[in-house]
Amino acid sequence: MNKVINRKALLVGFSLLFVVVLIAITSFVNAGLDPSYWASDEFKTDMLLTVALVMIGTLTGFSEGDNFYRTKQDGLYVVNYNKFYTERQKIENNLDKFGDWVLRLYRKEAYNKIKRYLINENGIKQAELILKLDRTQIEQLTEPKAFEIEGEIRYFNSLTQEQIKAILKVFNGEIRVKYVHESYYLNAYSKNSSKSMYELASEQEKKKRQKLITLMAFRVITTILIGMVLAGLTRDLVEGDKAQAWIKMLSRYFTLFSAVSWGVFISNDMIKDECLFLDYKIRTLEQFYLDVEVNKTFTTKTEEEKAFEKINELLKVGDKVE
């Protein structure tokens, strides 16, 4: 982190130095701002060269920064990556239970989101208790009411129409959490895919060809852009006024340097985001290991037990309908 701060400080210092040099040169040559120059072909050419420098610098800085932060042995990404695979190995013998555990995690997250929506966003203080009521009972809460819940009389304060609508949104399934597949937590690269290695292998050659074409296209485009820059600099130095050529050269060096730095900063931020989610996966796998191996607070049900529960649920629904 300190190195990133130092790079930012270096960029700021270089920017100030560039401004100082620019002021000195323009003062000696008695230069001024000429708005008519912005409509000239020369200005348009300069802008194209600037765009080319920005593209080259940003892409280069991003590529080098990404490689640096992703492979640095004592860096945050490598440390988290190693932690992830340590946790991944610990749960290897219980992967058959992981899908059910992730489903329980989803239900917990969905329930917590509903509570936050009702309590924090709509001020419904009895949210947990209210969720045990049915739609008809909720619609009656325009005034204080008492309802029997699980054999016990419970008392409810009145709600506003807006609060009642918010609760009904929950009942209609409008407040939901997107389900995250179990494979997301088992893959360090954040790919949410349920495909087997056999399926992925069939796509490997296609992906290799796509990557090769992309890299070749990048190389061709970069070469063209570099050629444009060199041609522009040669023309300026040979034909242009020396003072103006120095100004342009300094400006372009600054553009390239700042673009490279910006690319490095972007890569650093993206790696930090990846590390954030990688850390989330580590903590999730740790919790699964504790629930299954250490505390043994989570046990899966057999398919027959699951089927029995579903049949009972259907029978209960049938009783209500009758």
* 188 band by pLDDT with thresholds 50, 70 and 90: confident
Tens digits of residue pLDDT in 221-269: 765 565 555 555 544 544 445 666 776 777 777 778 877 887 888 888 8
pLDDT 10s digits, 121-133: 999 999 999 999 9
Judge whether residue 322 has pLDDT over 50: no
Q: Give me the pLDDT at residue 280, please.
A: 92
pLDDT band at 288 (very low <50, low <70, confident <90, very high): very high
Residue 134 — φ and ψ, nearest 5°? Answer: -95, 175
pLDDT at residue 78, rounded to an integer? 93
- Angle (nearest 5°) at CA 58 between 55 and 59: 80
Q: Which of 2, 319, 132 is nearest to 141 (CA)?
A: 132
Among 18-22, 63-67, 77-81, 269-273, the range scoring the smallest mean pLDDT is 18-22
What is the band of 114 on the pLDDT scale with cuts at 50, 70, 90? Answer: very high
Q: What is the pTM of this model?
A: 0.69
Query: Which of 117, 141, 139 lies closest to 128 in space, CA to CA?
Result: 117
In 76-219, beta strands by DSSP E: 145-149, 152-156
